[in-house]
Amino acid sequence: MLHSAPRHAFTVVPRNNSKGSLYDHDGSAASDRSSVRGSGRGKTELDKALRADRGSMLDLTLPFSHGTSLLRRVFSEGFLLLRLGFRLYSYLGMGWKWSMQLLRLVLYATLLLPGFIQMIIFYVFSPRVMRSVVYGPKPRQRLDLYFPPDPPQPPATAHPVVIYVTGGAWTIGYKAWGALLARRLSEQGVLVACLDYRNFPQGDALDMLEDVNTGIAWVLDNIARYGGDPRGVTLVGQSAGGHLAGLALLRQAEQAALGSPALGAYPAWSPSCLRSFVGVSGAYDLEHLAEHLHRRGLYKNLLERIMSLEDDNRQDGLSSSGSRYGTAGGGATARGDALDAVGYAACSIVATDCDRKGCAPSGDTSSSVVDGGPKFAAGPEGVDQGLVRAGSARLGNPHDASGCRGGARPAYDALSPVHAAGRLPRSAAAELPEVLLIHGTSDKTVPHEGSMKLVQALKDAGVPEQRCRCLLVPGKTHTAFLIEDPMRGGRDLLMDTVLGAVRGGAAAGEDPERHVYDTLCPGLLCDLAGWVCPF
């Protein structure tokens, strides 16, 4: 195991680094493979990181002495996955649509197997990847860190940071899905943290929001110890991850502006600490998306269960500052319908030269995870509103993700980023970072109109136009940005767009330095995979 720390700040270095350790902040190499330099606090942090790193089932470099415990863990988590799989199947039943989608997903993965194999090898064996760092005490509250190969370029003393929240239809998300984007960003000097979070049926939407908030708070509080710049953090979410990251951001802004707890904003963190938010093919308009997803095989009874709230929580999510879309719980009214007619006025449509063929487990966590974020004054009844940081995420009676108990009902309005933006007080606009939403016009899974609506709602809430953009890319599908195009090689539009946001803010657009990447999978296989892709 290889771990070391710089002279003036603690840094955890990924294990199994056969090529030598990562650098210190001052650029000097750390050479002692067994010693830990620094304070006793640094050693404590290192011990925590080691325990977290040993928690991954994919860790193939464990000492033999840990084999028995690893085997027990594999069987335990395997049984859990089997049990959750049967529960998920109970919602899907024998429907032919989702069965066909599953077969298409298997074929899709098979066609792209040459690229996936290369990424699996990188993910498991690269010394620049630290897997399963624990960021909270609950199941699946872990993240992967992708370290840049070189020290920061002067005058910078720390790396910019990207927090990536993966998609997966709220049911099959996993932190490793962002490995390709994270690898390329890290090669350009960005420290990337890919969050894992509970999927349904292990958790519902509020559980997922709690995980995402906990992970973001942990990164903001702790990333400096790993060589990252907490003042240069960009939040990126894709698909379902875009929904969760975007909603968490909006709820935190509402909470900070009003000084009172907001549904889905536990634990608290300051949205003004972020440099920018980039949403990729995000699911922002749940109310209009439900029927669409039902026709594609994600049945309404499943989505309704994921997005269910108890009545008390539902009203709390709708009554914070008065809905601009009509009465609470009523869904979109005249204002919401008007957003349907926004058209392309709020968005930029860009052509890309990529269009042409050939182009391209539970553990201890730092107390700062729940102690960070804004502190709230006592409420009107003398109740400390800081309970949002130390109490429940739900603000009402608890409900169980395994069944609709206590009157839980679907709450697309309360859990939709479009509606959350429509209810933002104008004082919350100042709390938000720059926002960039990127979406393909040929996305059949999550139509791009949702991104257009969210941008318009943010502008109507007082976010300046230059700080909030929607970028529509003709001909791109739901997965093209993240998988097929990057594997094809050549230009990587998503990579350049995120890198531009990291270096110049979301309003900056693509990084001016165009990067060209090697091919991971033959173009023909990428074309076939895009054709059979179920997403």
DSSP character for 138? S
- Say if CB 347 and CB 452 are below 8 A apart: yes
CA dist., res. 307 & res. 313, Å (int): 12
Q: Which of 289, 339, 323 is nearest to 444 (CA)?
A: 289
Joined tokens for residue 260 = 């009172």
Catalytic residue among 316, 443, 485, 511: 443
Catalytic residue among 4, 239, 276, 323: 239
Closest by Cα among 468, 446, 415, 417 to 535: 446
Residues in the chain: 535
Burial 480-489 (b: 16+ CB within 10 A, else e): bbbbbbbbbb
User: Catalytic: 518?
Assistant: no
Rounded Cα distance between 57 and 67, Å, is 11
Kindly provide the residue ranges of all beta strands, DSSP E only, lying in 17-128, ordered along the sequence.
none
Indicate the helix (H) or strand (E) that contains 213: helix 205-222
Q: Which of 366, 416, 478, 496 is catalytic?
A: 478
Residue 208 parent element (H or E)? helix 205-222
Q: Could you tell me which of 191, 165, 189, 187 has the C-alpha nearest to residue 178?
A: 165
Bridge partner list, 162:
192, 234
Q: Is 35 helix (H, G, I), strand (E, B) or coil?
A: coil
Secondary structure of 423-454 as H, E, C letters: CCCHHHHHHCCEEEEEEECCCCCCCCHHHHHH
**Distance between CA atoms of residues 497 and 278, nearest Å:** 9
Angle at which helices 179-187 and 493-504 cross, to 10°: 50
Cβ atoms of 119 and 520 within 8 Å: the answer is yes
Tokens of 297: 């095989």
d(CA 386, CA 405): 27
Q: Decide if 239 is catalytic.
A: yes
Is residue 41 exposed (0-12), middle (13-18) or buried (19+ Cβ within 10 Å)?
exposed
What is the distance between the alpha carbons of residues 114 and 104, in angstroms, rounded to a whole number? 17
- Are the CB atoms for 469 and 438 separated by under 8 Å? no
Active site residues: 239, 443, 478
